[in-house]
Amino acid sequence: MERRNLVLAALAAGGENANYWPVHVQKLLFLIDREASALVNGPHFQFKPYDYGPFDRAVYVELQALSTQGLVEIQDTGRYSVYSLSPEGYRQGIARLHELGDSARAYIEQAARWVRSLSFQQLVAAIYNHYPDMKVNSVFRD
């Protein structure tokens, strides 16, 4: 699957009106790359340990490109951006999601629900707990 289509599928997995904070998108795509890469012809990104765990600037570049195409909506809250799919983006994302095998689709849907269910700190802590290699540059100190 092409990276663009993976991003659409991942965002669509959260539901038609799902909103994602930057931490949600970064960690969702990290989990897909780390845990389901073989199922989606990945990895699609090059995540590195950063201030708040795994990060790849290319995620934002992809989201911006999809926004330019009218598929992703980016709302600036003043503190951070909120990402969601436009109606057409959701339609395309669901179509890409359903092109995946059952295992890949189930993993992505579960991961999308999980990342969105946690607060910023809970999500970052859970990622650090399961992927300690992504904590090395953390701004959080034990």
Q: Does residue 141 fall inside a structural domain?
A: no
**Which regions of the chain are under pLDDT 50?**
none
Total domains present in the chain:
1
In a domain, 83, yes or no: yes
Confirm whether 102 is domain-assigned: yes
The predicted model scores a pTM of: 0.95
pLDDT at 140 (0 to 100): 72
For 82, residues 6+ apart whose C-beta sits below 8 A from its C-beta are: 19, 20, 21, 74, 75
User: How does pLDDT run across 75-112, given as a tens digit for each residue?
Assistant: 999 889 999 999 999 999 999 999 999 999 999 999 99
Residue 140 domain-assigned (yes or no): no
pLDDT for res 124: 93
Q: Is residue 51 part of a domain?
A: yes
Residue 129: domain span: 3-134
The pLDDT assigned to 142 comes to 56
Tell me the helix, strand and coil percentages in the chain, rounded to 5: 60, 10, 30
Q: What pLDDT, on the 0 to 100 scale, is given for residue 29?
A: 98
